[in-house]
Amino acid sequence: MRLKLETRAEPSRLMGYLSPLFAAMLTVIAGFILFSALGKNPLQAFYTFFIYPVHDLNGFAELLLKASPLMLIAVGLACGYRANVWNIGAEGQLVLGAIFAGGVALYFHGSESGLILPTMVVAGAIGGMLWAAIPALLRTRFNTNEILVSLMLVYVANFLLSWLVHEPWRDPEGFNFPQSKQFTESALYPVLLPGTRLNVGFLISLAAVGAGYVFLNRSFLGFQMRVAGLADAAARYAGFNAHRMIWLGLLVGGAAAGVAGMGEVAGPIGQLLPSVSPGYGFAAIIVAFVGRLHPIGILLASLLMSLLYLGGEAAQMGLQLPSAMTGLFQGMLLFFLLGSDVFINYRVKVVRPPKVQVQLAQAAA
């Protein structure tokens, strides 16, 4: 007697909704086991990691604050992933967005103009798109794999940022620390919820989720991208321009990441530093998958992911566990999701040995 995977005649829609929930549950269970193994009281650790961070208004605002770049980037990435365009370098595009936006902020440093902030948003988008255009160009003209190119550019972007804050853009009054001047009020996002750090950038992210929904599910262009991702021979047959899909897929992701990067430096960070992101670009990839490349799912998944970030910080302070726990949980979540996804297309069956079945068949006949 053994277990066998049997293909379903039609993919299960129910499992499509349930599998992220399964994955989340399994992650929590794994967390329990992990906490116990580390010698911490699992219930207390669970509370510290998952509940405490959002127990007050400020905590809730932090949840939304961290979810904001995640959902923005993930929606952008999802557009590309649906078309089999694998943008893995969102982290680098985020950095470029931060650099471009930061450049605008520094150039107009001291000015009170209300145009600075919108210009920074546009600059951030341009920076991200520029960085994403490189893998797009190389893939369409030279058939180069965009996964590796976009990833290599993450490292390059980080080095570029490092050089900028160490050298030309270093704050002369910054005690020689590698950082830029702090941005003035006119170059910072206004706060949305007084007393917290939640800012207007959150509204931009929500708008992006809405736009993503319309684009992916209702627009013809979104349809073309889905076809390209599911069956590229069919996309060619239909006359959909494959190159356009690639450019669009990468540029949308790049723009989203760039605006998210701008949001970090115009938001909680308030200046340019050698590191402007705790890995949001990579975490957003997980958010996109866990959210099943669907804007609503992405919204929910970004909240979960944000909680994992907060949990890691809380665990460091309250449980003396390294904040690297966050990365660990995030990776586990994605693994569990990929594993649970199997039930969408397959069913588990118990296989009995043939002779029993001969009797069954004879009985039935």
Partner 1 sequence: MMDTLIPILVAAVAAGTPMVFAALGELVTEKSGVLNLGVEGMMLMGAVTGFAVASQTGNPWVGALAGMVAGAAMALIFAVLTLNLMANQVASGLALTLFGVGLSAFLGKPYESVSLTVAPPPAIPLLSQIPVLGPLLFNYHLLVYVSWALFAAIAWFLYRSRAGLVLRSIGESPESAHAIGYPVIRIRYLATLFGGAMAGLGGAYLSEFYAPLWVEGMTAGRGWIALALVVFATWRPARVMIGAYLFGGVTIAQFFAQGAGIAIASQFLSSLPYLATIVVLVFISRNLATIRLNAPVSLAKSYRPD
Partner 2 sequence: MSSETTASAVIPRIELRGITKVYPAVVANKNVSLTALPGEIHAVLGENGAGKSTLMKIIYGVVKPDAGEVRWEGKRVIVANPAHARELGIGMVFQHFSLFETLTVVENVALGLPGKPELGELGRRITEVSERYGLPVDPRRLVHSLSVGERQRVEIIRCLLVNPKLLIMDEPTSVLTPQAVRKLFETLRQLSAEGCTILYISHKLDEIQELCTNATVLRGGEVTGHCDPRQETPKSMARMMIGKDLPHPQHGAAKTGEPRLVLAGLNRESPDPFGTDLKDMHLSVHSGEIVGIAGVSGNGQQELLAAISGEEPVSEKHPVILCGAEAGRMSPAARRELGLCFVPEERLGRGAVPRMSLADNALLTAHRRGFVTAGLIKFSAIAAFAASCIEAFNVKCGGPQSEAKSLSGGNLQKFIVGREIMQKPKVLVVAQPTWGVDVGAAAFIRQKIIDLRNEGVAILVLSEELDELFEVSDRLAVIAKGRLSPAKPIKETNVEEIGVWMSGMWPDAGDPAHFAQEGEHAAQA
273 forms part of the interface with partner 2 (CB under 8 A)? no
Q: Which is nearer to partner 2, 3 or 9 (CB)?
A: 9
Locus of tokens 């605006």 = 259
Cα separation, 291 vs 276, whole angstroms: 25
CB of 200 to partner 1, least distance (A): 30
* Smallest distance, partner 1 to C-beta of residue 337, A: 8
* Residues 332-351 interacting with partner 1 (rule: CB under 8 A): 332, 334-335, 338-339, 341-342, 345-346
Are residues 286 and 330 in contact, defined by beta-carbon separation less than 8 angstroms? Answer: yes
Burial of 243 (0-12, 13-18, 19+ CB in 10 A): exposed
> In this complex, which beta carbon is closest to partner 2, that of residue 172 or of residue 354?
354
56 near partner 2, judged by CB under 8 A: no
Q: Using an 8 Å Cβ cutoff, are 314 and 66 in contact?
A: no
Q: Which among partner 2, partner 1, none contacts residue 111 (Cβ within 5 to 8 A by kind)? A: none
CB-based contacts of 193: which residues, under 8 Å, 6+ apart? 57, 61
- Distance (Å, whole) CA 351 – CA 233: 37
Binding mask 99-138 for partner 1 (x = CB under 8 A): ---------------------------------------x
Report how far Cα 63 is from the mean position of its chain's Cα atoms.
Answer: 15
Q: Is 14 exposed, middle or buried (0-12, 13-18, 19+ CB in 10 A)?
A: exposed
Q: Could you say whether residue 43 binds partner 2 (CB under 8 A)?
A: no
Question: Six-digit token pair at 216?
Answer: 């992916």
Q: For residues 221 and 110, what is the distance between their CA atoms, to the nearest angstrom? A: 43
- Residue 152 interacts, among partner 2, partner 1, none and using kind-specific CB cut-offs from 5 to 8 Å, with partner 1
Residues within window 229-268 making contact with partner 2, judged by CB under 8 A: 230-231, 233-234, 236-241
Query: Would the CA dihedral through 156, 140, 97, 296 be positive or negative?
Result: negative
Residue 342 in the binding site for partner 2 (CB under 8 A): no
CB of 130 or CB of 242, closer to partner 2 = 242
Question: Contact letters (x/-) for partner 2, 1-30, by CB under 8 A?
Answer: -----xxxxxx-------------------
275 contributes a contact to partner 2 by CB under 8 A: no
Q: What does the alpha-carbon distance between residue 284 and residue 301 come to, in Å, rounded to a whole number?
A: 9
Which contiguous run of DSSP H or E holds residue 350? strand 346-351
Contact residues for partner 1, defined by CB under 8 A:
5, 7, 86, 88, 138, 141-145, 147-149, 151-153, 155-156, 159-160, 162-163, 166-167, 282, 285-286, 289, 322, 324-332, 334-335, 338-339, 341-342, 345-346
Contact residues for partner 2, defined by CB under 8 A:
6-11, 214, 218-221, 223, 226-227, 230-231, 233-234, 236-241, 354, 357-358, 360-362, 365
